[in-house]
Structures are given as structure tokens and as C-alpha cells.
Structure 1
Amino acid sequence: MEKLRRLVNQIAHTPPSQRQSYLSPLQLSLIPLLSFASSLYKLALYLRYHLYHWGVFRQHRLPVPVISVGNLTWGGNGKTPMVDFVSLWLANSGISPLILTRGYGGGDEAKMLQRHLFGTSAKIGVGANRAATAACFLERYGYIDPHHGTCFERLGSDPKMGTHLNSDKIGVAILDDGMQHLSLWRDLEIVMVNGMVPWGNHQLLPLGSLREPLTALSRADVVVVNHADLVSEQNIKAIELMIQNIKESLPIFFTRMAPSYFFSVGNSSCKLPLRAVHNRVILCVSAIGFANAFVQGIEKIGSLHVDHLDFSDHHLFQTEDIEMIRLRLQKLQANFDSKPIVVITEKDYDREPEILNHLDPFEVLVLSSQLQIIPRKGCTEDSYKKLLRHLLEVKFSGLQMT
């Protein structure tokens, strides 16, 4: 199954004009079947969207503002880091956020968010039925009436004052991976785009990586292009043009994943500086949506040599995977006469940390990264927060930015 996923993933990111050159005969033979499945998927999308539009399917509305953070393509777009970023901003401003996540793939995103947001007023609800999950949390903690102007005025306050203003009552709900979750009404739609492979081969699943047609960007309130630091200026301009052709007035921001520190498997409280891997041989092991950005980030830190083993998104490591990793480590040690270090992402650590202990005596480090907004054309972190605040105010109180 893992091998099939890799084959299909390569098809999804190969432009039709390059298929004959880059795809194997087996992959080429799969294209007619995948194309037919994509046609069925497109029909299902159309029917589902219109059933909600016509009111046949019910859309639940929460008594607090709902911010959706989603994407158009599978994996690696930075949805969860953006949820982390927005949640921390809200919590530091004295507004308690409720994060609603489905808990897919062992709940790795939820575990990572719990660690990052520990000690704040943020709450995390895990469950496929996010309306029901939200109802339970709202009943337990209560909520702040968003129609009171003072609610969003807090977002303009000094972050250091957040702890004094803090309330245990829920002020905002945040949908992690929420763009296609139509059963819950959202007031603000943030769409994340992977700048390194923004649209794949421009085809819908499973032939391509698009979960919806590109025209779905018209529903967005703001688009954020992640990994923009790893993309050429020419490609950045092409992404901007594509987005503006769909919705000219759509604000576009740019972000990167900034490595912060390492921690050892089994001891997440002990932070190690990035220089811990300087001039060392590194094996990056990951089962995330887009491993290239992770590997390139490690290469920039200053390691002697970086190798990598990539698995499909949310893959659970098995005994045979550990053996494969161990063999690669032994080969690297023989080639460089130096004991290599395994570096994994936080999502991989949170999925199943215990199995990584079987790599002993090789050291396993976990890279912790934070999403940062890259200033471009006047779009900064401050202007991004002001825009979100303004959009929420317009939705609920009609106030204009001061």
C-alpha cells in the first residue's frame, strides 16, 4: 500500500506534458483509472456543495466566530502551524480559542498543538463531528458574545496584557483542515497554499492533488502561501497571478517554517539549539504531506551531509520501517566514518514516539518549527493580524479599524 501511495503521489505532481518522461509504465497504466475516479469525485463534490447550498444538508452555526484554516491540495500546506499561530495570538490577546480537529492519523496534529499551546487558554476538541464536539466544549466552558465590541478590541491590545484579560469562556472556534468541512458555518476562511507545489498537476483527486477546483479560492477571505522562502520570485509571481485571476481582491500573505530548536525523543522538555547538528551526518525521516521543505530546512542549518527517507502522510512506522532506517544509518556511518543522527518532525514524533526508541543506539532528535510571516509588499505579521481582526469585526459588530 505504501508503494502504491508513492506511485500515485508522483502522478499527482507530474504535469501531463511530462508524464512520458518521468512516469513508469505502471504509473502510465494507472492514469485512465485515476482519471475516471477523478470524474466521479468531481461529480460528488458538485452534488455535495449544492446540497448544502440548497439547504438539503444542514449547516450548523456556532454562537462564536468560526475561523477555518484549510487548503485545496493534500498535505504539506501548513494548516496546523497556522492554527497554532492564530490560536496563540488569540490566547495572548485574552480570547480563549477552541480548536476543532478531526484527529486523523493518530491525532498527531492535536498532540503537537497541545504541546505548543500548553499553559494558554486554548482548548482542543478532537472528533469527526466537529459541531457536536464544539457543543460539548461550549456547554462546559461557556462562551463570549461576539456582538459585544469589547471582544475583538482585545485583539489590538498589548500581548503582555493577554493573561490579565484572559477568560476561560470560549471566544473563537478554529477549524483545523476546515475548508471542505461544509457542515459547520465559518465566518472567516483562511486558505493555505504550498508555494513549492501549489496546485500539483492541476487535476482533482486521485489523478491530481486538488481536493477542490481552483475556483474554490473564491470562497477564501485570505490566502497564505507557505514555504515562500524556498520558492523563486518567478514562481511566487505566478502563484499571485493565478490567485488574482480567480479573485482579484483576495489578500495574499507569505510564510515560512522557521526551525526553532530540537528535543530528544522521550524528553520534549529539554530543548537543544540548532547548532547541535552542525557538521553532523543527518538522516531525515518523515511521514508528512510534503517532506521536501523539511529536508531543505535541515540542509540550511549547516549539517555535514543530509540524507532522507520519506513515507506517505500519516504513515505509522512498522518494524520493517525501523529496519530500513537502521540499514540506511549503518550505510551512512560506514561512508562518513561518523555516527549519524536521525531527525524527525514533531508530527512524526507525536504519531507513535515509542517505536523510535528501537533505533538505539542512534540518536533521534525532533525538530520544532514555528510559522513566520515573511514581509512582502507591505504585508507583514502586524497587517495580517489587523486584517483578521477587521474581518471579524465586520462580521459581528460592523466596527471599522481604528
Structure 2
Amino acid sequence: MISFGKILFFPILFLLSLVYRILFFLDKSFKKKRTLPSSITISIGNFSVGGTGKTPFTLHLAKLLHSNFPNIPIVILSRGYGSSGTGIRRVTENSPPAEVGDEPLLLKKNLPFAEVYVGSNRYESYLQFRSENQLSTNQKVFTLLDDGFQHHALNRDLDLVLLDCTKLSKTEFVLPLGLLRESYSSVSRANFLIASKFSEEWENPLSKWIQKFKPSQTARFRFSPKILVPLSSGSLERSVKELTGKSIFGFAGLGNPDSFYSSLKEQNPSELKTKSYPDHYSYTKEDLSQISEKASDQNYIICTEKDGVKITSLVDADKNFSKWFYLKLETVLENESELISSVRSFI
């Protein structure tokens, strides 16, 4: 759906969209690609700007690879979008989120067996990873390129691209008219289409999309609420079932927070108030004070795990934050065996 402002400036935006397409084509066609040595390189990306569930999928994929191939090291290479740090940064569980980025920190906190490196030059990040971990020349490594579908500087063995099932009924345009980085027809480059945020209600529009654009292979990716994790050390984890009949204030700094709010609604609360912040938003103590004031009468204050990694350091372990939690998701990927079979062919 195009907003009134975009309709008003349609001629200018259309020309800019053409320029964007041309520059994108030139970058894809003429940028010299490099190959990461001794790496099984897997790109994880999406068609559009905004939240498609890429981080939960990256977590799921890394755990899947580790369980099937425990002796092969895993490194995730990220640009660290929204971070303030410079150069190549090795992410630890104690890294400041502002320095490395919220998503890389979330990945590291959930994947102690994997390494996460942030830097604008992923080739150099990879070489530093191998050097710092003292890997032998012939030691194979799984390299996951976070947000890598439009990254043209590196060759990859597998391309996985996510499609947001909740947006299939909307007409999408390429930037700056819409939110697409490239048209859906680019799925022809992908080895797997990951149908993200899937539920049975999206099966019909998804089937029509698959019939139209004909991806090589499709895997449906579902996630659902699992538990409530406290942001304050003085509280305990709670079951999401406890939200039934309770009042909730939900907030998120996501590109597309709708699915998060829907997950809260599915718990049948007595009341749900929400507030959205920009994607990768850096929260301050003043923000938390404002949220506390707005949610003073609510039983629970709930954010996403991505927001939680940034807020934890601002939370004081006292009763004022006893009702603050982040929602942890449970993920399920269909056709895992087919994906693992494709990966195995490179080992």
C-alpha cells in the first residue's frame, strides 16, 4: 500500500526507484567477488527493509548446524547495523550493545558455541576470526552472512532468503517507493525460500506466491511465544499462559512489530497497550521512566528479546522493574532435513 505522500511525489520517487535499480544492478554485476578460504558460506537475508524474523531464523539455523555438525566451528559475520563502534569487533556476551549492535549481541548471548564478528568488510572480519581462533588452514568453518542476500562482495555456497508471510496480501514496491530492496523475482538466486512467520492462515497466499515466483525449495518457519524472561535479576521466568486475563503494555523497536503485538494478543490479555520505537532504537533511562509512567496500571511490561539485550543494563534490580519481561520465542523450521542435506553436500 502506497501512502498519500508517496502518491503525491510518485514521479520523483519512481525516478529514484529506477536509479536505485540501476545502481543495484551495476553493483551486482561488476563488483569483484571473493571467496572465503576453507568456509562453507551461507547467506541469510531478505527481500525487504524491516523485520522479517531474520534474527530468530539465524539463531535456529546456527543451533541446527551445531547439533548436526558439532565439530565444525561457526562464525556469524554482521555489519553491526546501528552500532557506534568502528573497525572489526569480536562480540562477547558482555559487549556494549551500542558498540556492536543489538542483533549481534543477541546472537552471541544465545549461541555460546559460535563466534560473532562485526565489521563493514566481512572478508577481513573472517580472516581476523580465523587468526584469533588459531584455526589451521584446512579447518572447515560454517560462515553465516547476516543480512547477506544483497551483499555482492562474497561468493556463497547457499543463499537463504526470508519472506514475511504476514505481508503477502500487500503490494510491495522497490525502494524508495516501497520497502523492497529488490523485486521478489530475485528469489531465483536463492537455494531456499524461508517462509517466515508462517501459520496456517497464510498458506493460501503463500501457495499463490510460490506458484508465481517459483523458488527452488521452500521451508516454512514458525515461531511462537515460549516464556517471559525477566529484565530484573530479582524476578523469575514466567509462562506466557500467565498473561491470560492480565493487562499488558508491550513495546518494540522493530522494523515490523505487528507480529510481536499479535503474539501478545493471542494470550488473551484483558487489555493491551502498545508503543513502537524505530528499528534498532537505543533506549535511555528516560525512555524507561516514560514507559513505567504509561504502564503504571498494567500487570506486565513486555518487550522483544532484541530490545531486552539493550535494556538490561539500564534496569535496576528493584521492585520498580519486577513486572518488566522480554518475550522469548520458540521456533520451528519445516523441511530441516532437506536443508541439512544441502549443507552436507559441501562437507
Q: TM-score range by the shorter chain?
A: 0.7 to 0.9
Matched-pair contact (CA < 8 Å) for 1:263–1:272: yes
CA apart distance, 1:141: 2.6
Structure 2: 5+ residue runs without aligned partners? 84-100
Counterpart of 2:104? 110
Q: Name the structure 2 match of 1:70.
A: 45
Map 1:99-178 → 2, pairs under 5 A: 99-106=76-83, 107-118=101-112, 121-143=113-135, 171-178=141-148
Higher share in helix = 1
Match of 2:93 in 1: none
Compare CA radii of gyration and give the structure with the larger one.
Answer: 1
Deviation readout 1:77-98 (Å, 9 max, x if unpaired):
1212121111112222312211
1:330-353 residue CA offsets vs partner (Å, 9 max, x unmatched): 5xx3xxxxx332110011122344
Task: Give, as a single letter, the amino acid of the residue that structure 2 aligns with 1:188.
Answer: L
Partner of 2:240: 274
**Conserved 8 A contact 1:282-1:307:** yes
Structure 1 residue 177 displacement after superposition:
0.8
CA-to-partner distance for each residue in 1:132-161, whole Å, 9 max, x for gaps?
111111123355788xxxxxxxxxxxxxxx
> For residues 128 and 393 of structure 1, what CA distance do their matches in structure 2 show?
29
Cα deviation code 1:336-386 (max 9, x no counterpart): xxx33211001112234445669946721111113212xxxxxx3xx42x3
Deviates more, 1:315-324 or 1:341-350: 315-324
Count of aligned pairs: 327
- In structure 2, do the counterparts of structure 1 residues 199 and 354 end up closer, same or farther at CA, with 3 Å as the change threshold? farther
Distance 2:149 2:169 in 1: 16
Map of 1:161 onto structure 2: none
Q: Could you tell me which residue of structure 2 aligns to residue 292 of structure 1?
A: 258
User: In structure 1, what is the equivalent of residue 88 of structure 2?
Assistant: none
* Amino acid corresponding to residue 91 of structure 1 in structure 2: H
Contact between 1:142 and 1:170, CA under 8 Å: does it hold in 2?
no
Distance 2:292 2:221 in 1: 34
Does the 8 Å contact 2:38/2:141 carry over to 1?
Answer: no
RMSD value over aligned CA atoms? 2.8
Identity %: 23
Letter of the structure 2 residue corresponding to residue 222 of structure 1: F
1:47 aligns with one of 26, 47, 50? 26
CA contact (8 A) 1:76 1:288 kept: yes
Match of 1:314 in 2: 280
Instruction: Work out whether residues 44 and 146 of structure 2, in 8 Å CA contact, stay in contact via their aligned partners in 1.
Output: yes
Q: Which residue of 1 aligns with 2:291?
A: 325
Q: Counterparts in 2 of 1:391-402, with a 5 A limit?
A: 391-394=342-345, 396=346
TM-score (norm 1): 0.73
Mean Cα deviation higher: 254-263 or 65-74:
254-263
TM-score, length of structure 2 as denominator length? 0.84
Unaligned residue ranges in structure 1 (runs of 5+)? 1-13, 147-168, 334-338, 374-379, 398-402
